[in-house]
Structure 1
Amino acid sequence: MARQVRTTRRAAVIGGALALGLGFQAGHAAERGPVKIGVLGDLSSAYSNVGGRHLVEAVKMAVEDFGGSVLGQPIEILSADTQLKPDVASTTARRWFDEGVDVLVDIPSTNMTFAVTPLAEDRKRVVLATSAASSDITGAKCSPVVAHWTYDTYANARSAGAVLLEQGAKNWFILNQDTATGVGVERDITELVTQKGGKIVGSVKAPLETTDFSSYLLRAQSAKPDIIAFAPAGAAGVNAIKQANEFGLKQGGTRFVSVFMMPDDVKSLGLEAAQGLIYATAFDASLNEQTKAFAERFRQRAGKVPNMNMVGSYSAVLHYLKAVQAVGTTNSDKVMPKMREMPVRDVFTQDGELRIDGRMAHSMFVMQVKSPAESKDEWDLAKVIATVPASVAVRPLNAGGCPLVK
């Protein structure tokens, strides 16, 4: 059963005094009740460690930083465990919309995003897809109510992959997942590698809940690639890389790139096993003083540094609330154009722009996991080896097939 979590009364009423002078706008808001944010996430399965309750904490921070109220009404946060099941996601979204939820955030799978989008379109609610991955979300299935915020398969493949190809890694093996996200991974990596003169020497698709990757790794080993691209995320990705190390693939000269890697995953792997691993990210705590301060604030609350999905959710919610305040409504027909009009400038990005296809374009960073000798503390896990501007990292607007692009 979905579990709901509300903000504390203190968080809900922060800034309430400011509402007293809002006149008509406050009176109008009083008729409609609180503005409700639904965090549609994974609290118990494969991606719970890289999202879950910690991502909810990031959303709470965004609400607090905004002031706790909008349009003269308190902001409420609900969260639900979808168990990564699209049917659970759609059922929860439908019920939430009936209960007055105004916006969905998180949504850690592509199929879940596709499941809730028609419901949001019908009810004119906004979907902040901050954890879903496939670039198909802003392709042929794009929607005027969806903002795909943090990253996608194109950006992750294009950013990390281009660095490795420039270093001479031409033969690639893809250890993929049999999911809608996996389809995007396969397409986007293959397109990049072939464009740069490389070759895909093999590809396998493991079911989402796979824990034993030995048969897939044997096929990778026999293909003798320069690079293995690991697409499984969360605990599955950690297991796959650990087992690849046990097979001696790295010692044999094969390099590893992870399509979806978070600081939590690196910590689970350990620097001895993960050192040298390449991955792309939209956020890292070490980038500058602002990101360091935010990460420390988050760590004080949540017990660990935030990953890109958490900070992306913070950014998306903050931007959404600014747009709602500006247009005086939560109706997606008004809010989404305002979100596209306003540049995104916050701790997550200083060059963000929400495009008509729904993609929030911003720079990406290519990371390399440090050796144990390089690390200075438990969360000093990786270093930036390249910054990739949005013009390179994000798929060109006219290349995705989104019907909203004229």
Structure 2
Amino acid sequence: MKHIRTPLAAALAGLLFSMGAQAQGISDDVVRIGVMTDMGGALSDLSGKGSAMAVRMAVEDFGGKVLGKPVEVLEVDHQNKPDVASNRAREWFDVQKVDMVTDLTNSAAALAVIDIARQKNRIAIVNGAGATRITNENCTPNSIQYAWDTYAMANGTAKAIIKKGGNTWYFLTADYAFGHQSERDVTDVINSSGGKVIGSSRHPFNASDFSSFILSAKASGAKIIGLANGGSDTINAVKSAQEFGIDPAKQNLAGLAVFITDIHGMGLKAAQGLQLTEAFYWDLNEQTRQWSRRYFDRMKKMPTAIQAANYSSTLHYLRSVKEAGTDAAPAVMAKMKSLKVNDFFAKNGTIREDGRMVHDMYLVQVKTPAESKYPWDYYKVLATIPGDEAFQPLSKSTCPLVTKK
């Protein structure tokens, strides 16, 4: 029997074909990436304009297009305020049709944005924020934590310090999500290793005066003063410790979220001997040096781990869009989790079901002024920490997306 195709049937078939083609292509004929970061506050040096530049470099290196469609990069300052971050994310997703938002320095802001991304079915790649809630109770199918987190920092830095006898701690903790989480994660390591937390002081974010906090830490007699803060807060705390006579023979500082721009800001004289954990170091090998020098040519400073991760994760996102044949979030996320990350930032990096990108971390020590031979020659790499040891195992995860065996 011959099939007769009516005009209505033809129209419906055409509509269905068009819808299918659109689903497998690029929405709005543009892939839009939004860099949401701290452009002028306490975290702007370790992220900020440098993160936006790293994303733009990745887009350029990819060719500026994916699946024949242009890639656009937008930038916005969330001012380290969760309500501002939420409002800008909604505007980006609803009005400007942003497909992926990245950087997300500041844990409170990042947690707000990944929830909006989940609601709007868009992708959020967290490079700046370190709170492990992002891949635990607040995990989503649409979000990835790519660069670092407080668990990895605690494991790398605290374990190494405790092994060397630093078994009593006092915390200077930034009073927001990241600081609280960092203190909790390090406290777990201290307690499980037979150490003791003597006390802590919580300071406001972007504090200008650390004198009372440093004096409390000094009076505690703790061997280690743990800096559960970041950016200018860490720099100001280290400078204040020098000013108020913290004696390295009796008490040492432990940076729990320190980046190379922080060391640059403190100077080697103040920072020398500090042990910390990093996800990336520009002078690690020839591949890291080549990219970092290109970045330096544009920004006149070496990249932090956050800035390098923004480049790496943007390239990984664009490759995944190309492989998926669409910018639709579920298909792209599936590709991002199936493809390994192999570039100057990570070797055989994998993105787990909880959204954690697992890669090696590095325990480093800040050089003395005499040991530093050229500009930005700041670190001695003490150890490489394999990714499966650095990050929280899935067996401990509270992410509802994780299938427990």
TM-score where L is the length of structure 2: 0.92
Provide, for residues 277-336 of structure 1, a one-character-per-residue CA deviation record: whole Å limited to 9, x for no partner.
111110001111100111111101111110100011111111111111111122221111
Of 59, 63, 66, the match for 2:59: 63
Paired residue for 1:45?
A: 41
Q: Give the superposition deviation at 1:401.
A: 0.6
Which residue among 105, 115, 120 is the counterpart of 2:117? Answer: 120
Q: CA RMSD in A?
A: 1.6
Aligned to 2:368: 371
Secondary structure class of the residue paired with 1:140: coil
CA 1:185–1:30: 2 relative to 1, 3 Å: closer
After the TM superposition, list the runs of 4 or more consecutive aligned residues in structure 1 that deviate by more than 4 angstroms: 24-31
Q: Structure 2: how far apart are the matches of 1:219 and 1:31?
A: 56
Output the CA distance in 1 between the equivalents of 2:348 and 2:245: 41
Amino acid at match of 1:80: V
Q: Deviations over 1:141-163 (max 9, x none)?
A: 11111100000000011111111
Correspondence for 2:70 among 70, 74, 82: 74
1:105 and 2:107 matched: no
Partner of 2:349 in structure 1? 352
2:15 maps to what in 1?
A: none
User: Matched residues in 2 for 1:232 and 1:377: separation?
Assistant: 28
Aligned to 2:211: 214
Amino acid corresponding to residue 334 of structure 2 in structure 1: P
Letter in 1 for 2:243: E
1:193-208 matches, cutoff 5 A:
193-208=190-205
Q: 1:28 & 1:403 partners in 2: Cα distance?
A: 29
Long gaps (5+) in structure 1: 1-23
Which residue of 1 is the match for residue 186 of structure 2? 189
| 1:126 aligned partner, one-letter code | I
* SS of corresponding position for 2:312: helix
Q: Distance in 2 between matches of 1:205 and 1:27?
A: 49
Q: Is the 8 A contact 1:149 1:312 kept in 2?
A: yes
Rg bigger for which structure?
Answer: 2
Q: How does 1:6-405 map to 2 (within 5 A)?
A: 29=25, 32-98=28-94, 99-405=96-402
In structure 2, the residue corresponding to 1:55 is in which secondary structure?
A: helix
Q: TM-score, normalised by structure 1?
A: 0.92
| Distance in 2, Cα, partners of 1:282 & 1:376 | 23
Deviates more, 1:25-34 or 1:69-78: 25-34
Structure 1 CA distance, aligned partners of 2:206 and 2:47?
A: 17
Q: For residues 153 and 296 of structure 1, do their structure 2 counterparts lie closer, same or farther at Cα, with a shift above 3 Å needed?
A: same
Q: Is the 8 A contact 1:30 1:72 kept in 2?
A: no
Distance 2:21 2:227 in 1: 50
Query: In the TM superposition, what is the alpha-carbon distance from 1:30 to its structure 2 partner?
Result: 6.8
User: Structure 2 regions of 5+ residues with no counterpart?
Assistant: 1-19
CA distance in 2, matches of 1:287, 1:135: 26
The CA distance in 2 between the partners of 1:137 and 1:399, in whole Å, is 14
Cα shift readout 1:182-219 (whole Å, capped 9, x = no counterpart): 12112100000111111111111111021111111111
- Across the two proteins, how many residue pairs are aligned to each other? 383
Task: Confirm or deny: 8 A CA contact 2:350 2:359 kept in the other structure.
Answer: yes
Cα distance, 1:119 vs. partner? 1.9
Aligned partner of residue 99 in structure 2, secondary structure: strand
Matching residue of 1:13:
none
Distance in 2 between the 1:277 and 1:354 partners?
30
- CA distance in structure 1 between the aligned counterparts of 2:237 and 2:341, rounded to whole angstroms: 35
The amino acid of 1:224's aligned partner reads: G
* 1:234 counterpart letter in structure 2: G
Which whole-Å CA distance do the structure 2 matches of 1:390 and 1:41 have between them?
26
Structure 1 residue 34 displacement after superposition: 1.2
Amino acid at match of 2:85: A
Secondary structure in structure 2 of the residue aligned to 1:101? coil
**What are the Cα deviations for residues 70-96 of structure 1, in whole angstroms up to 9, with x where unaligned?**
121110000001111111111111111
CA distance in 1, matches of 2:49, 2:31: 20
Alpha-carbon distance between aligned partners in 2 of 1:49 and 1:380, rounded to the nearest angstrom: 18
Q: Is the CA contact (8 Å cut-off) linking 2:23 and 2:326 kept in structure 1? A: no
Match of 2:11 in 1: none
Aligned-residue sequence identity (percent) comes to: 40
**Secondary structure in 2 aligned to 1:356?**
coil
**Given the superposition, is the C-alpha separation of residues 142 and 263 from structure 1 closer, same or farther in structure 2, using an over 3 Å criterion?**
same
Determine the C-alpha separation between the residues in 2 that align with 1:244 and 1:193.
22
SS of residue paired to 2:298: helix
2:25–2:327 CA contact under 8 A, matched in 1: no
Rounded Cα–Cα distance in structure 2 between residues aligned with 1:55 and 1:176: 25
Task: Quote the Cα distance in structure 2 between the aligned partners of 1:305 and 1:250.
Answer: 31
